[in-house]
Amino acid sequence: MAKQFDVVVIGAGPGGYIAAIRAAQLGLTVACIDAWSTAEGKPAPGGTCTNVGCIPSKALLQSSEHYEQVNHHFAEHGIEVKDVTLKLDTLIDRKRNVVKQNN
Protein backbone atom coordinates (compact mmCIF):
# COMPACT_ATOMS: atom_id res chain seq x y z
CA MET A 1 0.00 0.00 0.00
CA ALA A 2 1.42 3.39 -1.00
CA LYS A 3 1.55 6.15 1.59
CA GLN A 4 1.84 9.87 1.08
CA PHE A 5 4.07 12.11 3.20
CA ASP A 6 4.60 15.85 3.38
CA VAL A 7 8.35 15.37 3.80
CA VAL A 8 10.66 12.49 2.91
CA VAL A 9 14.11 12.70 4.48
CA ILE A 10 16.79 10.55 2.86
CA GLY A 11 19.40 9.59 5.43
CA ALA A 12 19.00 9.62 9.20
CA GLY A 13 22.45 10.99 9.86
CA PRO A 14 23.28 14.09 11.91
CA GLY A 15 21.32 16.38 9.60
CA GLY A 16 18.60 14.02 8.45
CA TYR A 17 17.17 12.90 11.74
CA ILE A 18 17.10 16.48 13.04
CA ALA A 19 15.26 17.61 9.90
CA ALA A 20 12.77 14.76 10.28
CA ILE A 21 12.12 15.57 13.94
CA ARG A 22 11.65 19.28 13.21
CA ALA A 23 9.27 18.61 10.33
CA ALA A 24 7.20 16.34 12.59
CA GLN A 25 7.20 19.01 15.31
CA LEU A 26 5.78 21.41 12.74
CA GLY A 27 2.91 18.99 12.14
CA LEU A 28 4.06 17.50 8.84
CA THR A 29 3.87 13.79 8.08
CA VAL A 30 7.42 12.53 7.72
CA ALA A 31 9.14 9.45 6.33
CA CYS A 32 12.81 9.01 7.12
CA ILE A 33 14.67 6.60 4.84
CA ASP A 34 17.98 5.17 6.01
CA ALA A 35 19.96 2.12 4.93
CA TRP A 36 21.80 1.40 8.20
CA SER A 37 20.99 -1.88 9.93
CA THR A 38 22.18 -3.74 13.00
CA ALA A 39 24.18 -6.97 12.91
CA GLU A 40 20.81 -8.70 13.33
CA GLY A 41 19.46 -6.97 10.21
CA LYS A 42 17.12 -4.62 12.11
CA PRO A 43 16.84 -0.92 11.20
CA ALA A 44 19.46 1.25 12.90
CA PRO A 45 18.53 4.92 12.50
CA GLY A 46 21.19 7.56 12.89
CA GLY A 47 23.44 7.00 9.93
CA THR A 48 27.19 7.42 10.21
CA CYS A 49 27.18 9.57 13.35
CA THR A 50 25.21 7.19 15.55
CA ASN A 51 26.44 3.88 14.19
CA VAL A 52 30.13 4.24 13.32
CA GLY A 53 31.11 7.87 13.90
CA CYS A 54 30.37 10.32 16.69
CA ILE A 55 28.61 8.11 19.23
CA PRO A 56 30.88 5.05 19.22
CA SER A 57 34.04 7.16 19.12
CA LYS A 58 32.83 9.24 22.09
CA ALA A 59 32.01 6.06 24.02
CA LEU A 60 35.55 4.76 23.41
CA LEU A 61 37.02 8.15 24.26
CA GLN A 62 35.17 8.23 27.58
CA SER A 63 36.51 4.79 28.49
CA SER A 64 40.05 5.81 27.55
CA GLU A 65 39.73 8.96 29.67
CA HIS A 66 38.77 6.85 32.70
CA TYR A 67 41.76 4.59 32.09
CA GLU A 68 44.08 7.60 31.81
CA GLN A 69 42.66 9.16 34.99
CA VAL A 70 43.13 6.03 37.09
CA ASN A 71 46.69 5.56 35.82
CA HIS A 72 47.93 9.15 36.02
CA HIS A 73 45.76 11.38 38.18
CA PHE A 74 44.12 9.46 41.03
CA ALA A 75 47.34 9.56 43.09
CA GLU A 76 47.12 13.38 43.11
CA HIS A 77 43.95 12.93 45.17
CA GLY A 78 45.41 10.34 47.50
CA ILE A 79 43.78 7.45 45.69
CA GLU A 80 46.09 4.54 45.04
CA VAL A 81 45.02 1.93 42.53
CA LYS A 82 47.20 -1.07 41.74
CA ASP A 83 47.16 -3.57 38.90
CA VAL A 84 44.91 -1.61 36.56
CA THR A 85 44.06 -3.60 33.45
CA LEU A 86 42.22 -2.70 30.30
CA LYS A 87 39.79 -5.33 29.05
CA LEU A 88 39.36 -4.47 25.39
CA ASP A 89 36.47 -6.91 24.88
CA THR A 90 34.49 -5.24 27.68
CA LEU A 91 35.33 -1.79 26.34
CA ILE A 92 34.07 -2.75 22.86
CA ASP A 93 30.92 -4.36 24.32
CA ARG A 94 30.15 -1.13 26.18
CA LYS A 95 30.60 0.86 22.96
CA ARG A 96 28.19 -1.48 21.16
CA ASN A 97 25.62 -1.07 23.94
CA VAL A 98 25.90 2.72 23.79
CA VAL A 99 25.27 2.60 20.02
CA LYS A 100 22.32 0.23 20.54
CA GLN A 101 20.78 2.59 23.10
CA ASN A 102 20.92 5.41 20.55
CA ASN A 103 19.09 3.45 17.82
d(CA 38, CA 60): 19
The DSSP 8-state label assigned to residue 87 in this structure reads: -
One domain, residues 67 and 40:
no
Residues 63, 38 within the same domain: no
Element (H, E) at 38: none
pLDDT at 73: 95
Phi, psi of 7 (to 5 degrees): -135, 135
The verdict on 6 and 31 lying in the same domain is yes
How many Å separate Cα 93 from the centre of its chain? 13
Which tens digit of pLDDT belongs to each residue from 69-99? Answer: 999 999 999 999 999 999 999 999 999 999 8
Global model pTM greater than 0.75? no
Q: Which domain holds residue 78?
A: 53-103
Q: Do 21 and 65 belong to one domain?
A: no
100 and 71 housed in the same domain = yes
